[in-house]
Amino acid sequence: MKSAIYDNPPHSWLRGEFRKIEQNVHDVRSKPPVHVLEYILDGDFPATEARSPSEVYWEHILLRYIGEVSLDIERNYSPDLRLSLIGTGADILVAEGHSGGTLHGVTGIEISARVLNQLLPTTAYTILDTIVRGNDHSGWVTEQWGYFDPVTRIQVRDGIDTFQIAHGRIQTKMINYTVETGNTYAEFRRVVYRSGREDLKTAEARQ
């Protein structure tokens, strides 16, 4: 499916971010596939149902990096999505009158994306590590991520997202993050890179 998702694709920037992700993801089986980057930059997207869990997940990540939230939701999330938020995102939902951090379907992920963008207005995310497991048709992903805005010093040091993916769509997702005010980027890096590896080792051991 050919789709011109933007007139001037940020090729150099996204390739640079892709290389950072490759370096951060230590497990060889979990690294982002280069062909996913290429088809996003070309705007030549495969059929949704033909993709593996790894392809679905990494397409989701790269589309979010370039701010293509609507296309990400359209291609990568099941209409029957079950979504659970923990931490600051859940607190915002309760303050807005929702019963808690549990959401459903496309409306649920749209609400979650709005809250995240409200709290973290740039795309300055850092994928600290990722574990992908499963087969060509179904599997799970655990992602450890962080965020630091040098202007506002807003940061997330404990971002953990878990995905259950089947039939070319994200079926279930759990999101945990705490938004806080940090000090310097150097301190942010020191803390998140120290804690991230242990968090993912624990998550993998529980599967």
Please indicate, yes or no, if residue 75 is contained in any of the structural domains: yes
Cα(159)–Cα(110) distance, rounded to whole angstroms?
19
Q: Which positions of the chain have pLDDT values less than 70?
A: 1-10, 195-207
Is residue 47 packed enough to be buried (19+ CB in 10 Å), middle (13-18) or exposed (0-12)? exposed
d(CA 124, CA 106): 24
Q: What is the pLDDT of residue 7?
A: 46
Residue 4 lies in a domain: no
In a domain, 185, yes or no: yes
The whole model's pTM is what?
0.87
Q: Is residue 108 part of a domain?
A: yes
Domain with 128 in it: 11-205
Q: Give the span between the Cα atoms of 32 and 165, in whole angstroms.
A: 16
Gyration radius from the chain CA atoms: 16
Residue 1 lies in a domain: no
Residue 66 lies in a domain: yes
CATH, residue 182: 3.10.450.50
Q: Is residue 6 part of a domain?
A: no
Specify the pLDDT at position 30. Answer: 97
User: Does 99 reside within a domain?
Assistant: yes
Number of domains the chain is built from = 1
Q: Over pLDDT 70: what percentage of the chain?
A: 88
